[in-house]
Structure 1
Amino acid sequence: MAREFLCTKTEPVVQTKAGKLRGFRLDGTYAFHGVKYADAKRFHQPEPVKPWEGIKNALAYGYVCPMLRQDEPSNELMVPHRYWPLDENCQYLNIWTQSLDPKAKKPVLVWLHGGGFAAGSSIEHIAYEGENMSKYGDVVVVSLNHRLNILGYLDLSPFGEEYENSANAGNADMVAALEWIHENIENFGGDPENVTLFGQSGGGMKVWTLMQTPAADGLFHKGVVQSGCIEGFVQADETDGTAIVTALMEELGTDDVKTLETIPYAQLAAAYNKVMPEVAKTGVYVGGNPKANGWYVGDPCVVGFTEHAKTIPVMVGTVLGEFSFMPALDPEEKADAALIEEKLQKMYGEHTEELKTLFKKAYPDKDISDLLFIDSIFRAPSIDFLHKKAQHPESGTYSYLMSYTFPYDGGHIAWHCSEIPFVFHNTSLVAAFNEPGVTDLLEKQMCDAWLNFARTGKPSSDALPEWPACTPDDEATMVFDKTCEVRHNYDHELIALHKKAAPPFFFGGGDDEEEQKIQH
């Protein structure tokens, strides 16, 4: 059936602080794609866009930040991707809304994409589309691009005051986007005083780093951290960028730091990729992540939450399998008890029996073979984050975990990114996510939770059991599965032992050493 479409020379047009923008309407949802929210010179702080006359089109997604390495399509059934033109001039955002009435005051949900701080984009995953969430929840959905890798996170401050915050330029872009939203979202039907950040993986890290950024105080009011807690990923050391920038200049044959501002990006990236591994071995800051300084306070689990961060309600969660991207065991292998025992013994050694006991206690309905794929890399730091944030009763702290087994590969536990289509109400866009009689309800339960949290700071809904906030002694975790339930401190022993027993950087049950490396 054909959908109703509207896009003329005069509508839909919205007035922003800098000028007028034209988008389009599809079945009642207004969309504005590729809205420029800031400009910036390489390594410098973002500045507001210059005003313009007439009407600008917002009909195409904006440029994506260049990557350090070429993207390679993979796991497209599990996490379908899109690839888009690259340019440093990448400060663009996208908006989906049901109303252009400035008095509508709808909740605003701002999506921060994954890929660490080095890769990804606002449209990288097909499931990032905001139309369905906006329509289903009657909310305003915003996604954005910002500078990444060495363009967004390289510390040149030792080489001049103009680079004082170059190590956080990517996060400064996000603050600029939030400032744009605060100033303009009302004309898109949004409430600038009810803005929720949500993000997965690197996007989750962006949420809590912005909680720790005083320049962002008051620009957002709630945060959802999806698989975004990981130890040591955002460095807390006090070293600066002297070593990496010096090595980079030597590789490029220059002693003038200004050269780094103008050299072609491909050449700059190639030089960085060559020198970074050796510099990193010394343990100093090498870029690619935010750096604590006078602008960004630092990891709250290390330095404590800022006074403002204590007042921000948060949801924090993970999925059971996280990086279990390799093919699952087939039904015949799962039924072979001797084979499973051999794999478990090879992986966990002397801890195998205790882990099996703790796993069956935590997940009595799961197959014991799933113990080969569970995660503690994200789950353990999430438990720590929740515990420390719950010590501040100024705002609610909520925990979740997705343990659903997908109808893929004969049954595959939830993997990194697999909750995203449910949250965005986009499971119909991802083939492997569809299970009759299950998917629709779980999608409703999860999307409702995110929407209600954005509206009120509490994720409870009529479709879920009562979901209490965490306390310092009680992690009340909503477990999303075929049957959703709240469980209390239910996996803490399992995760503590798994963190101790699992092979280093292990994210799945494969034997190939390469499968045990973190992939960003």
Structure 2
Amino acid sequence: MDRRRFLAAAAALPLVAATAGDPVVPTTLGRVRGTREGGLAVFRGIQYGGADRFQAPRAPWPSKEVVDAVRFGPSSPQRGGRYAGTSEDCLYLNVWTPDPRAGGRRPVMVYIHGGAYSTGSVADPLNDGRHLAAAEDVVVVTVNHRLNVFGYLYLAALDPRFPDSGNAGQLDLILALKWVRDNIAAFGGDPSRVLVFGQSGGGAKIATMMGMPAAAGLFHRAVTMSGQQVTASGPINAAARARAYLAYLKARPIDLLSMPQERLVEGLAATDPVLGGGVYMGPVLDMKWLTRHPFWPDANPQSKAVPMILGNTRDETRGFIDPDSEKVRTLDWDNLAERMAPELRVDLPPDWLVAQYRRRFPDWSPERIFYAATTAGRSWPGQVIEADARARAGAPTWVYQVDFQSPTQPRRGAPHTMDIALAFGTLDAPGSFTGTGEGARIASRTLMSAFAGFARRADPNGAGVPHWDQYRLPQRATLLVDAASRAADDPRRWERELFARAPYIQPGS
């Protein structure tokens, strides 16, 4: 069975039925019944909110009956058909806890999935919380929320009836964190030690929330994994995207309320008037919920007191530019610069960049330079900007880089998404690049221990983690996560300085 069908089947079927001996926990929305699995209490599909289309979410009415929480809730509608059972009614979360009783005071780790702002779900087996909760004695929470048009279509500039539409997905996450604040103690968690962590788009959502006044105080540490949001979408560009989307559907804003969700998803094929390709949806500088950019012109003052870890992988673009694609298979010195150009987010002459790499690394192949340059000029600069901004502000910050190379797909190196399986311990899950060998297990224990220690003490240092200094200028201390992890100062200084010669423009801004 391929991974897509596996995910669809997993989302469509209940994982386990509730029985009489299963745990029941009181919440502000009523009592929920979970299951006992491998020494943990697990609650899947707890509803934390509901919403009318394009409106801010609200907490649902409490239930007088015990509600079974034994299967994942729906995933947000999205393109690709990767998850079965999608629905706009997707505001559900999941909890793994070693002991579902009040007074446990365990650190709480809340995961926000990736997929930019358009796809993804925590029903993905890579995001299963059981290994992390059991190994580190923490409470793990994973959250679904509205995506793409349902969570980020900016209609406010076109119709005053939709003032919250451009940031509805962010408001879902804020409502979920309010549920955690109000309820997690009943599951054995400590509401004063809530860490949010997220990969790719999940990290970007966290970076955005660090600058949203409505999210202030709802989490106490943050980890972003290959996910940055230096600037949000400007309202003029966001309105232009909304117009392009409406033109594709031949609709007015009010017409969208009666369209089936499948038709709204089809509209995402509209051409983006700013970036080209499919129309982009993401957080908007709407001056209501988001009143300044997350990391421009500096680190948002709201977030400076929140300890933060920022991470990336050494070969980010090997995760989403297929090494077996024609574009990569037929690379040579004559076409390398031309093929690199569309992948860069820093506007420097591609032929000049190729010459710099060839001079610095004369034994590298065109393929190796392609992936190194596209990673350093596309997926990495946002993290450097954010980390440097926090360092200048004196905010407590740590930086890591995953160097562990995939033993199962060697040409992938250390690709985008590699750190999900390492952080969750889901090394054997579909979609993992890590394999299950000793090196992967060691690297995973390092990252799991660092993240859990960070949740527990606001410091990632501890047993199983090499000494890891805070990220300060000019040292730029970085933990290199591998089978034998180590800390190093500014380990990619040459590439950092090379791409710092031109400004980084956040895609979608």
Question: TM-score if structure 1 supplies the norm length?
Answer: 0.82
Aligned counterpart for 2:70 among listed residues 59, 73, 77: 59
Q: What is the identity, as a one-letter code, of the residue corresponding to 2:456?
A: R
Q: Taking structure 1 as reference, are residues 416 and 241 closer, same or farther at Cα in structure 2, changes over 3 Å only?
A: closer
Q: Is the 8 A contact 2:103 2:185 kept in 1?
A: yes
Q: What is the identity, as a one-letter code, of the residue corresponding to 1:150?
A: V
Equivalent residue for 2:293?
299
Query: Cα offset for 1:353?
Result: 5.8
Query: Cα offset for 1:429?
Result: 3.0
Q: Is the 8 A contact 1:356 1:368 kept in 2?
A: no
Aligned counterpart for 1:318 among listed residues 312, 317, 322: 312
Equivalent residue for 2:236?
239
Q: Taking structure 1 as reference, are residues 359 and 37 closer, same or farther at Cα in structure 2, changes over 3 Å only?
A: farther
Q: What is the identity, as a one-letter code, of the residue corresponding to 2:371?
A: F
Q: Taking structure 1 as reference, are residues 357 and 444 closer, same or farther at Cα in structure 2, changes over 3 Å only?
A: farther
- Asked if residue 179 in structure 1 is aligned to residue 178 in structure 2, the reply is yes
Q: Is the 8 A contact 2:449 2:465 kept in 1?
A: no
Aligned counterpart for 1:24 among listed residues 29, 35, 38: 35
Unmatched 5+ stretches in structure 1: 73-82, 506-517
SS at match of 1:463: coil
Q: Is the 8 A contact 1:153 1:287 kept in 2?
A: no
Greater mean alpha carbon deviation, residues 310-319 or residues 7-16: 7-16
Equivalent residue for 1:100?
100
Q: Taking structure 1 as reference, are residues 26 and 116 closer, same or farther at Cα in structure 2, changes over 3 Å only?
A: same
Over residues 34-80 of structure 1, what are the superposed CA-to-partner deviations in whole Å (9 max), with x where a residue is unaligned?
1000010001111111011121110110011101x2246xxxxxxxx
Equivalent residue for 1:289?
282
Distance in 2 (alpha carbons) for counterparts of 1:58 and 1:415: 34
Distance in 1 (alpha carbons) for counterparts of 2:464 and 2:18: 37
Q: Taking structure 1 as reference, are residues 451 and 356 closer, same or farther at Cα in structure 2, changes over 3 Å only?
A: farther
SS at match of 2:418: coil
Q: What is the identity, as a one-letter code, of the residue corresponding to 1:479?
A: L
SS at match of 2:296: helix
Equivalent residue for 1:109?
109
Question: Kindly, what percent of the aligned residue pairs are identical?
Answer: 27
Over residues 407-442 of structure 1, what are the superposed CA-to-partner deviations in whole Å (9 max), with x where a residue is unaligned?
134454101101111110121335752263312211
Q: Is the 8 A contact 2:146 2:169 kept in 1?
A: yes
Equivalent residue for 1:512?
none
Equivalent residue for 1:8?
19
Distance in 1 (alpha carbons) for counterparts of 2:357 and 2:499: 7
- Asked if residue 270 in structure 1 is aligned to residue 266 in structure 2, the reply is yes
Q: Is the 8 A contact 2:299 2:386 kept in 1?
A: no
The root-mean-square deviation of aligned C-alpha atoms, in Å, is 3.3
SS at match of 2:104: coil
Query: Cα offset for 1:492?
Result: 2.5
Query: Cα offset for 1:194?
Result: 0.6
- Asked if residue 259 in structure 1 is aligned to residue 269 in structure 2, the reply is no
Q: Is the 8 A contact 2:47 2:91 kept in 1?
A: yes
Equivalent residue for 1:373?
371
Query: Cα offset for 1:267?
Result: 2.1
Pairing of 1:402-417 with structure 2 (within 5 A): 402-410=402-410, 412-417=412-417
Equivalent residue for 1:464?
465
Q: What is the identity, as a one-letter code, of the residue corresponding to 1:379?
A: W
SS at match of 2:168: helix
Distance in 2 (alpha carbons) for counterparts of 1:87 and 1:449: 35
Equivalent residue for 2:155?
156
Greater mean alpha carbon deviation, residues 290-299 or residues 447-456: 290-299
Distance in 1 (alpha carbons) for counterparts of 2:145 and 2:436: 35
Q: Taking structure 1 as reference, are residues 174 and 282 closer, same or farther at Cα in structure 2, changes over 3 Å only?
A: same
Equivalent residue for 1:120?
120
Q: Is the 8 A contact 1:387 1:473 kept in 2?
A: no
Query: Cα offset for 1:154?
Result: 1.2
Equivalent residue for 2:10?
none
Query: Cα offset for 1:345?
Result: 8.2
Distance in 2 (alpha carbons) for counterparts of 1:497 and 1:230: 21
Equivalent residue for 1:437?
438
Distance in 1 (alpha carbons) for counterparts of 2:63 and 2:243: 41
SS at match of 1:467: coil
Over residues 150-188 of structure 1, what are the superposed CA-to-partner deviations in whole Å (9 max), with x where a residue is unaligned?
110011213444421210000000000001111111111
Distance in 1 (alpha carbons) for counterparts of 2:462 and 2:334: 43
Query: Cα offset for 1:404?
Result: 1.7
Equivalent residue for 2:80?
70
Query: Cα offset for 1:311?
Result: 0.5
SS at match of 2:310: strand
Q: Is the 8 A contact 1:157 1:241 kept in 2?
A: no
Query: Cα offset for 1:496?
Result: 3.8
Query: Cα offset for 1:476?
Result: 0.4
Greater mean alpha carbon deviation, residues 292-301 or residues 381-390: 292-301
Query: Cα offset for 1:100?
Result: 1.4
Q: Is the 8 A contact 1:438 1:482 kept in 2?
A: yes
SS at match of 1:63: coil
SS at match of 1:405: coil
Distance in 2 (alpha carbons) for counterparts of 1:249 and 1:408: 44
Equivalent residue for 1:355?
357
Q: Is the 8 A contact 1:133 1:424 kept in 2?
A: yes
Distance in 2 (alpha carbons) for counterparts of 1:267 and 1:345: 39
Query: Cα offset for 1:383?
Result: 1.0
Equivalent residue for 2:387?
386
Over residues 168-217 of structure 1, what are the superposed CA-to-partner deviations in whole Å (9 max), with x where a residue is unaligned?
00000000000111111111111111100100100000111010111111
- Asked if residue 401 in structure 1 is aligned to residue 371 in structure 2, the reply is no
Distance in 1 (alpha carbons) for counterparts of 2:410 and 2:156: 52
Query: Cα offset for 1:260?
Result: 1.6
Query: Cα offset for 1:328?
Result: 5.3
Equivalent residue for 1:192?
191
Equivalenced residue count is 470
Q: Is the 8 A contact 1:222 1:314 kept in 2?
A: yes
Distance in 2 (alpha carbons) for counterparts of 1:406 and 1:240: 39
Q: What is the identity, as a one-letter code, of the residue corresponding to 1:214?
A: P
SS at match of 2:122: coil
SS at match of 1:239: helix
Distance in 1 (alpha carbons) for counterparts of 2:288 and 2:37: 45
Q: Taking structure 1 as reference, are residues 355 and 19 closer, same or farther at Cα in structure 2, changes over 3 Å only?
A: same
Q: What is the identity, as a one-letter code, of the residue corresponding to 2:99?
A: S
Distance in 2 (alpha carbons) for counterparts of 1:384 and 1:27: 42
SS at match of 1:416: coil
Greater mean alpha carbon deviation, residues 425-434 or residues 36-45: 425-434
Equivalent residue for 1:484?
485
Question: TM-score if structure 2 supplies the norm length?
Answer: 0.84
Distance in 1 (alpha carbons) for counterparts of 2:406 and 2:249: 49
